[in-house]
Amino acid sequence: MTTTRAEIGGSGGDSSPPSPYSLAHLRHVPRRHTHRWIAAALILLAFGWVVHAFATGQIEWEIVAQFFTARAILLGLVNTVVMTVLAMLLGIVLGVVFAIMFMSPNPVLKWVAWVYIWFFRGTPLMLQLLLWFNLALVFPTIGIPGLFEARTVMVITPFMATLLGLGINQGAYTAEVVRGGILSVDIGQTEAAKAIGMGRLTTLRRIVLPQAMRVIIPPIGNEVISMVKLTSVASVIQFSEILRNAQTIYYANARVIELLIVAAGWYLIVVTLLSIGQYFLELHFAKGAAPTGVRVRAAAARERSI
Amino acid sequence: MTGAPMVVAQDVHKYFGSLHALNGVSLEVARGEVLCIIGPSGSGKSTFLRCINQLERADRGAIWIDQELAGFRRVGDALYELTDAETSRQRASIGMVFQRFNLFGHLTALQNIIEGPVTVQHRPRAEAVDEAQTLLERVGLAAKRDAYPSELSGGQQQRVAIARALAMRPKLMLFDEPTSALDPELVGEVLGVMRNLATSGMTMLVVTHELGFAREVSNRVVFMDEGAIVEAGSPQEILVRPQQPRTKDFIAAVLP
pLDDT tens for each residue of B85-113:
999 999 999 999 999 999 999 999 999 99
Q: What pLDDT, on a 0 to 100 scale, did the predictor assign at position A3?
A: 47
- How confident is the model at residue A6, as a pLDDT? 46
Q: Is the pLDDT of residue A286 over 50?
A: yes
Rounded Cα–Cα distance for residues A36 and A43 (Å): 11
3-state helix vs strand vs coil in chain A, percent to 5: 75, 5, 20
Largest CA distance in chain B: 55
In chain B, pLDDT over 70 holds for what percent of residues? 99
Interface test with A, best of B106, B119, B135, B173 (most A CBs within 10 A): B106
Residue B102 has its nearest CB partner, among A192, A202, A210, at: A192
Kindly state the average pLDDT of the residues A137-162: 86
> In whole angstroms, what is the distance from residue A197 CA to residue B91 CA?
5
Beta bridge partners of B37: B207, B222
Q: What is the pLDDT of chain A when averaged over all its residues?
A: 87
- What is residue A60's three-state secondary structure? coil
Predicted confidence (pLDDT) at residue A294 exceeds the cutoff of 80: no
User: Average of pLDDT values for A44-67?
Assistant: 90
Rounded Cα distance between B74 and B120, Å, is 25
Cβ B106–A197 below 8 Å, yes or no? Answer: no
In whole angstroms, give the CA distance from residue A171 to residue A120: 8
Contact B88 A198 (CB under 8 A): yes
Q: Is A289 part of the contact surface with chain B (CB cutoff 8 Å)?
A: yes
Residue B150 and residue A196: Cβ atoms within 8 Å?
A: no
Span of A205-219, A288-302, B12-26 with lowest mean pLDDT: A288-302
* Contact list, B49 vs chain A (CB under 8 Å): none
**Chain B residues in contact with chain A using a Cβ-Cβ cutoff of 8 Å:** 53, 55, 84-85, 88-89, 91-96, 98, 100, 102-108, 115-116, 119-121, 148-150, 161, 164-165, 168
> Is A300 within 8 Å of chain B by CB?
no
Q: Give, as one character, the DSSP assignment of residue A254.
A: -
CB-based contacts of B233, cutoff 8 Å, min separation 6? B220, B221
Q: Are B160 and B183 in contact (CB under 8 A)?
A: no
Chain B residues whose beta carbon lies within 8 Å of the beta carbon of residue A194: 55, 88, 91
Interface of A with B in 258-287 (CB under 8 A): 285, 287
A186 touches chain B (CB under 8 A): yes
Q: Beta strands B220-225 and B228-233: pairing type?
A: antiparallel
Mutate to test the interface with B, among A196, A206, A209 (most CBs of B within 10 A): A196
Q: How many whole angstroms separate alpha carbon A232 and alpha carbon A246?
A: 11
pLDDT, position A284: 84
Q: What is the pLDDT of residues A75-119, one digit of tens each?
A: 999 999 999 999 999 999 999 999 999 999 999 999 999 999 999
Distance CA A148, CA A155 (A): 12
Burial label for B76, CB within 10 Å (0-12, 13-18, 19+), is exposed
Q: Which residue of B has its CA nearest to A208?
A: B104
Q: Tell me if chain B has a CB within 8 Å of the CB of A210.
A: yes
pLDDT for position A297: 55
Residue of A nearest to B113 (CA): A196
Which residues on adjacent β-strands are paired with residue B232?
A: B222
Beta carbons of A193 and B104 less than 8 Å apart: yes
CB-closest option in A196, A199, A287 to B168: A196
pLDDT at A139: 86
- Residue A137 or A168, more confident: A168
Distance to chain A for B2, nearest Cα, Å = 27
Measured at the alpha carbon of residue B113, what is the angle toward residues B216 and B86, in degrees to the nearest 5?
A: 90
CA distance B223 to chain A (A): 25
Arithmetic mean of pLDDT, A202-227 = 93
Which ipTM score applies to this complex?
0.93
Burial A17-50 (b: 16+ CB within 10 A, else e): eeeeebeeeeeeeeeeeeeeeeeeeeeeeeeeee
Alpha-carbon distance A271 to nearest alpha carbon in chain B (angstroms): 29
A81 versus A283: which is more confidently predicted?
A81
Question: Counting Cβ atoms within 10 Å, is residue B224 exposed (0-12), middle (13-18) or buried (19+)?
Answer: buried
pTM of the model: 0.82
| pLDDT at B67 exceeding the cut of 80 | yes
